Amino acid sequence: MAVNRALFDDVMVPNYAPSSVIPVKGEGSRVWDQENNEFIDFAGGIAVNCLGHCHPALVNALKEQADKLWHLSNVWTNEPALRLADKLVSSTFADKVYFANSGAESNEAALKLARRFALDKFGAEKSKIIAFNKGFHGRTFFTVTVGGQAAYSDGFGPKPGDIVHCDYNDLESFAALIDDNTCAVMLEPLQGEGGIISPTPEFIQGVRELCDKHNALLIFDEVQTGVGRTGTLYAYQGLGVTPDILTTAKALGGGFPIGAMITTTEIAKHLVIGTHGSTYGGNPLACAVAEAAFDTVNQTDVLEGVTAKEALFREGLEAINAKYDVFSEVRGKGLLLGAVLNEKYKGRARDFLNASSANGLMALVAGADVVRFTPSLVIPNEDIAEGLARFEKAVAAVVNG
């Protein structure tokens, strides 16, 4: 049987439009396709492959656990899950951990917990959830409705109720929305899918203060920003603002599917037995790999290295822009960066993505106007240089038509 892009159209639901390139092997920050063409990976599986491809620590953890125990369900607990939970608690504000399979499931758990907490403590009328335009929190019906992009939630019938949105970094509009019937506020401490938008200090601090004033829980969706992506273990640690609930996934498993919701004992106690669950959540294989990823990333040299590598990316992108004048700015923090297209190239992010692929580079977009980069946190400096050289060729191809 020929395994090619045409087979995708024959056998897969048509909700994706993947590249014609089919990768078959990865090592570090390099990937090879079926024809043995080499790519530099600046995409990282959308901020998932925090240690690149086939990192020895992750491969060894997976192989070792594979010979021990694969799955139990939550009728029993297991050692890898307990070790990973203990490390998450020891390294963050949290006291308790709930494991899931993805960022969407982690966010679903966070939202359900917030609603249950408010119901138990304040009554049924305290149910409003505030989120932000251009936000993204997953693809379950609850999370996609909370996410601030109606195009993702329209067309599926009646939506979950009592969810409102305002613009990110608009504290005045937020203050007008929040009230004593607000149970939770959900936000990304750096918007990813929405265009790589960082919060202003005044905004993020103001949101925290208003949540406290109105007894609303502050939920940080750190699915994309977490596990070292911004140069701290979690982005909140670099903002001076602590959430009540935090969700993490993507890089948590370094490529193996896993998610988690973490919170305090006082809040967690409202998710009593039977109120929520997951068959695969806390899976021993996933937790063993995630523990290895967590241990590897949560080191001073790795986290400080993220900031150093950010500087290399910014310098390279500025040099490219000085030649071709295609970007209005480079946004983001750490290794979650977005090159924003200027007016002349507005709406053409996918053209730059396709040209990158044609020149041996994997990149991403964040909407129609932003080229996004989320590489491995330990990408070698020489791969950054080579990837930027390939990106320059892609930019030249777009500019020169």
Q: Is 278 annotated as a binding residue?
A: yes
Q: Is 104 annotated as a binding residue?
A: yes
* 63 included as an active-site residue: no
Q: Is 143 annotated as a binding residue?
A: no
How many whole angstroms separate alpha carbon 119 and alpha carbon 125?
8
Choose the catalytic residue: 99, 136, 352, 391. 136
Q: Are 50 and 251 in contact (CB under 8 A)?
A: yes
Choose the catalytic residue: 126, 128, 250, 333. 250
Q: Is 103 annotated as a binding residue?
A: yes
* Bridge-based pairing state of the strands 245-248 and 217-221: parallel
DSSP of 11-57: HS-TT----S--EEEEEBTEEEETT--EEEESSHHHHT-TT-BS-HH
* 128 included as an active-site residue: no
For tokens 């693809």, the residue is: 139
Instruction: Give helix then strand counts, H and E, for the chain.
Output: 14, 15
* 136 included as an active-site residue: yes
Those residues with Cβ within 8 angstroms of residue 21's Cβ, 6 or more apart along the chain or in another chain = 33, 37, 39, 357
Q: Is 232 annotated as a binding residue?
A: no
How far are the Cα atoms of 206, 262, 383 from residue 175, in angstroms, in the given order? 9, 26, 45
Q: Are 66 and 218 in contact (CB under 8 A)?
A: no
Q: Are 397 and 353 in contact (CB under 8 A)?
A: no
Choose the catalytic residue: 39, 134, 221, 256. 221
What are the residues facing 186 on neighbouring strands? Answer: 219
Q: Is 136 annotated as a binding residue?
A: yes
Q: Is 292 annotated as a binding residue?
A: no
Those residues with Cβ within 8 angstroms of residue 336's Cβ, 6 or more apart along the chain or in another chain = 47, 190, 192, 196, 224, 225, 229, 230, 372, 373, 374
Q: Is 224 annotated as a binding residue?
A: yes
Buried b (16+ CB within 10 A) or exposed e, 51-77: bbbebeebeebbeebeeeeeeeeeeee
Phi and psi (nearest 5°) for 327?
-110, 145
How many whole angstroms separate alpha carbon 187 and alpha carbon 113?
16
Closest listed residue to residue 85, CA positions, set 260, 242, 253: 260
Q: Are 128 and 181 in contact (CB under 8 A)?
A: yes
Q: Is 9 annotated as a binding residue?
A: no
Q: Is 222 annotated as a binding residue?
A: yes
Binding residues for N(2)-acetyl-L-ornithine: 139, 278
Query: Which residues participate in the annotated binding site for pyridoxal 5'-phosphate?
Result: 103-104, 136, 221-224, 279
Residues serving a catalytic function are 136, 221, 250
Known binding site: residues? Answer: 103-104, 136, 139, 221-224, 278-279
